[in-house]
Structure 1
């Protein structure tokens, strides 16, 4: 075990979130939300300023405050670091911007083997010290676990190759199929970056990590297993000796859930397309599940949100190893009051779901 005895994860080992990650019994179902910090919160809009999101992330005091805002407002059971999955590759010189309303964009996308030279080894203390400073600030303030994260090799590769978010991932799939040697070399580089980034966050104080493979659902199960699985598996394997929970999340990954679990995750997050009882069946009894309310439901009136949340809880059936979350990130137009009430509902009813009513 590489983490020291005074690491926050030891003091927080009895928290509902960490216990649920280990499939242990809990006093209440833990809940946190992907993108819980950000544009849906008025307090975020008040302090965010006019700079870019990457500039905000590079300001440790600001990034820490943004991370803390949803913790104060909602009473969630875990905080997730305010950062972005493209921060490491941008920091090593493969220039990426995050354009509002668009997402990550790359002026000079990855095209051939020569571009591998642009992906050097990440040295977190040198390249992203502001991320680690943010983590250190947060663990002094928080009384709940902090989740660190990184982008999975496939999803980062997709951004670097496509140059922007893509519906088809056509260039990515073309490179993957036509130049498999270059593809696997690229995935090796991106795996190294993800490992270094998450390891450094844990050593700075994060109590868990999540690997975001947002676009893995664009792949068939066969292609995922051949071109992506070995690299995600290596990421999880390299982090195992830290002995903190490792979560794995993607969108549209119904047919990949068993492989995502087999890759070595302690927790698999699912989107809203598959009921949690079926998610459990696919990931197996040794893996905790996270999810999976449709974020769009949270734009509806409270009775609708309440009914759908109870359906998620019913599917989880109060069994150990469930972390309530949305099936993707909080939408910017979400009313914070809805999320406040949702946290209260999950805490109150999570272990004993009420029967559904018409």
Structure 2
């Protein structure tokens, strides 16, 4: 595939320095992400700002999902909701946004449908459709709303906890762009890999070319950690993950480091979360050099070697539907497993995101139990 006419630019957005933000008062997650032993496990939760919170649902009554993502003040307000509700119990905040802002920046329409989730009215059905993607993406222009939301939120946090930025991995975004949404089989996306491998490489290259300046832009704006979500990693055969997904993921990691170094920016800790991957993929993720490897609840912490500075995870999200007593018992069991790892860095999290039916009071019980059980 000819990508010579495809260009990505990113240069205008201001680089924010630590001195411009309130002094950080809790850096536990930054210490853990760098492999340092901490007095207790820092905790944050994927989708900690979301539909389980009544204050979130109230705001959604008058604003659409992507309207919130694209309005910095609203994104900041929602990002702060769990921090304010669980004051002192969360050790990180994650900016409210969505991984699908990248396909939008590339010119694709994405809708968030009630009870269905993301929907692409016109997915990429064949290589001929690649011509519909923008040939030039100005990341600072197309995604400025994310950067502004990050800067606004850093100030709103007042140094309480660090702020995490994020993006979807190339394969996961590719799958959405071709499949048109979620899927049980991802047959359309996989067909591309079988029938049009070179065109698939070309789309993955385009996605990666936008991802790198987008992630670096989040650092410029004030993000203190970065997480890359490979939500559909487990859908690929091992050799296809090695052939298509892993090289693109490596280019993202190396590209972020290279661009940060070129701009004189300190590269923040990088987290990779590849859901439901097998034990054969985990060593490959470690080799790429991400600082933290996130685990889902089906993977034991012992399966990650000490080559990784820290491990993140991996409570079963369904534990939040259990009784308070059961939550405390499960937290104690999982915390003991992480305590016996050789690598000292542990960032406590669920093995995936909070689901909508969880009671906010159960989240509080969980967070309090982690603080108690993870202390040395």
Give the TM-score, by structure 1 length: 0.92
* 1:63-103 Cα shifts (integer Å, max 9, x gaps): 10100011112230000010000012213421111212222
Give 1:300 deviation, angstroms: 1.0
* 1:128-170 Cα shifts (integer Å, max 9, x gaps): 2211111111111212111001111111111111111011111
Deviates more, 1:192-201 or 1:17-26: 192-201
Which among 64, 68, 71 is matched to residue 76 of structure 2? 64
1:203 matched to 2:194? The reply is no
Give 1:27 deviation, angstroms: 2.4
Question: Within 1, Cα distance between the matches of 2:165 and 2:254?
Answer: 17
1:262 matched to 2:284? The reply is no
Give 1:323 deviation, angstroms: 0.3
Q: Runs of 5+ in structure 1 lacking a partner?
A: 353-358
Mapped contact 2:295–2:314 kept (Cα < 8 A): yes
Which among 248, 259, 263 is matched to residue 231 of structure 1? 248
1:119 matched to 2:133? The reply is yes
Residue in structure 2 matched with residue 336 of structure 1 by the alignment: 360
Residue in structure 2 matched with residue 300 of structure 1 by the alignment: 322
Residue in structure 1 matched with residue 4 of structure 2 by the alignment: none
Which among 56, 65, 79 is matched to residue 93 of structure 2? 79
* 1:12-36 Cα shifts (integer Å, max 9, x gaps): 4970000000011212210000000
Deviates more, 1:81-90 or 1:316-325: 316-325
* 1:190-246 Cα shifts (integer Å, max 9, x gaps): 111221221111110000111111011111222211111110000000112342011
Question: Within 2, Cα distance between the matches of 1:264 and 1:116?
Answer: 31
Question: Within 2, Cα distance between the matches of 1:10 and 1:267?
Answer: 26
Give 1:286 deviation, angstroms: 2.9
Residue in structure 1 matched with residue 185 of structure 2 by the alignment: 168
CA RMSD of aligned residues (A): 2.0
- Residues 7 and 203 (structure 1), Cα distance of their counterparts in 2 relative to 1, 3 Å cut: farther
Which among 120, 138, 152 is matched to residue 106 of structure 1? 120
1:27 matched to 2:39? The reply is yes
Which among 143, 151, 175 is matched to residue 136 of structure 1? 151
Question: Within 1, Cα distance between the matches of 2:323 and 2:94?
Answer: 27
Give 1:254 deviation, angstroms: 2.8
1:178 matched to 2:202? The reply is no
Question: Within 2, Cα distance between the matches of 1:3 and 1:128?
Answer: 15
Mapped contact 1:122–1:196 kept (Cα < 8 A): no
Counterpart mapping for 1:269-348 below 5 A = 269-278=294-303, 280-281=304-305, 284-317=306-339, 320-348=344-372
Deviates more, 1:61-70 or 1:104-113: 104-113
Question: Within 1, Cα distance between the matches of 2:347 and 2:21?
Answer: 17
Aligned residues: 348
Question: Within 1, Cα distance between the matches of 2:15 and 2:162?
Answer: 15
Question: Within 2, Cα distance between the matches of 1:263 and 1:163?
Answer: 29
Mapped contact 1:56–1:63 kept (Cα < 8 A): yes
Question: Within 2, Cα distance between the matches of 1:330 and 1:294?
Answer: 10
* 1:242-301 Cα shifts (integer Å, max 9, x gaps): 4201111122113322222222311111100012122x23xx433311000011111111
Mapped contact 2:35–2:345 kept (Cα < 8 A): yes
Question: Within 2, Cα distance between the matches of 1:295 and 1:7?
Answer: 37
- Residues 10 and 266 (structure 1), Cα distance of their counterparts in 2 relative to 1, 3 Å cut: farther
- Residues 171 and 286 (structure 1), Cα distance of their counterparts in 2 relative to 1, 3 Å cut: same
